[in-house]
Amino acid sequence: VHPFYMILEPDGKAHGVLIFNSNAQISRWGYKDFDELKKVVSRNINAGVPLEVVVFDIDYMDRYKDFTLNPVCFAMTYDVSKTTSLDSAM
């Protein structure tokens, strides 16, 4: 269940917003490696920019194959499956 806010306008028209669509996100194609991604996330957090989701397109993949990591540029030094927040990943 996600919070949903709906506004009914005076003319009878309505519109709504699902909160899960309104979370602060960074989405970008072109990160050269995991260190660059960490710098961008840290810079935003340190600047006080609210951030809940990071999406980094297909850059992390090994030759753009699904469910793979580039072993050179995006080698992870921790278990991503156990990471529960951006802070623990930095």
pLDDT tens digits along 2-58: 677 788 888 988 888 766 655 677 888 888 888 888 888 888 888 888 788 888 788
* Tokens at 5, concatenated: 């806010």
Neighbours of 74 (CB within 10 A): 19
Distance CA 38, CA 17 (A): 30
More confident residue, 77 or 25: 25
* Tokens at 59, concatenated: 């850059």
Residue 18 amino acid letter? L
Distance CA 17, CA 58 (A): 28
